[in-house]
């Protein structure tokens, strides 16, 4: 056994799930905001499913909790209120429409820029809603706005 690995190795605090509210409440309000281990998230209840993501848009930090949800190409997206970027609720992908300049008659196609907004996990236990922060090791564009200077939810001082 590697002696550098602690036998006790307690779960890191930021890995644990945090109770953010009641299922009944979000089913009425359809969305809520929360601070999970110092990271601000928005949770949506849409078409019977929960989705949590970083609250600030990956593009320039727009407040996604104030955006509208619309379907594009059959995928539910939050539309950022600042510059109308579309972000899929399920995966955090940025969607855009592309056209072929050599064929102006062709219909624009929806394409993905890849995952731009960090998605977190929502679970329900006994009527309580929990959020577990993403542990995915990749660098996500929304990480930039998830740090101190861009916070939108004021914590009590
Ligand atoms: Fe969200 Fe620009 S900040 S689209």
| Tens-digit pLDDT profile for residues 109-137 | 999 999 999 999 999 999 999 999 999 89
Q: For residue 7, what pLDDT is reported? A: 43
**Domain range for 62:** 18-139
Please list the residues that pair with 35 across neighbouring strands: 40
Buried b / exposed e along 79-110 (16+ C-beta atoms within 10 A): bbeeeebbbbbeebbbbeeeeeeeeeeeeeee
Mutate to test the pocket of ligand 1, among 42, 55, 59 (most ligand atoms within 8 A of CB): 59
CA-derived radius of gyration, the chain: 18
In this structure, the residue with its CA closest to atom 2 of ligand 1 is: 83
One DSSP character per residue, 62-82 reads -BGGGSEEEEETTEEEEEPTT
Gap between the terminal Cα atoms of the chain: 46
For the whole model, what pTM was predicted? Answer: 0.86
> Does the residue 153 lie in any domain?
no
> Does the residue 116 lie in any domain?
yes
Question: How many CA atoms within 13 Å lie on the side-chain side of 72?
Answer: 23
**Ligand 1 center from residue 116 Cα (angstroms):** 12
Distances (CA, A) of 83 to 27, 78, 129, 143: 28, 12, 30, 19
CATH of the domain at 117: 2.102.10.10
Mutate to test the pocket of ligand 1, among 42, 56, 60, 116 (most ligand atoms within 8 A of CB): 60
Q: Give residue-wise pLDDT tens across range 32-91.
A: 999 999 999 999 999 999 999 999 999 999 999 999 999 999 999 999 999 999 999 999
Domain count for the chain: 1
Tracing tokens 């550098």 back to the chain, one arrives at 4
Q: For residue 4, what pLDDT is reported? A: 37
């Amino acid at each position: 056994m590697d002696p550098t690995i602690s036998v006790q190795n307690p779960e890191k605090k930021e890995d644990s799930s945090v109770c953010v509210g009641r299922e009944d409440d979000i089913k009425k309000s359809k969305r809520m905001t929360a601070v999970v281990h110092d990271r601000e998230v928005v949770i949506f209840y849409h078409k019977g499913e929960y989705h949590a993501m970083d609250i600030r848009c990956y593009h320039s930090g727009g407040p996604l909790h104030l955006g509208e949800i619309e379907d594009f190409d059959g995928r539910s997206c939050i539309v950022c209120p600042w510059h109308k970027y579309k972000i899929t609720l399920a995966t955090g992908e940025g969607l855009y429409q592309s056209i072929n300049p050599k064929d102006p008659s062709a219909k624009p196609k929806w394409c993905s820029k890849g995952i731009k907004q960090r998605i977190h996990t929502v679970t329900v236990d006994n009527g309580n809603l929990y959020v577990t922060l993403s542990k995915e090791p990749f660098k996500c564009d929304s990480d930039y706005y998830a740090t101190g200077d861009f916070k939108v939810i004021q914590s009590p001082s």
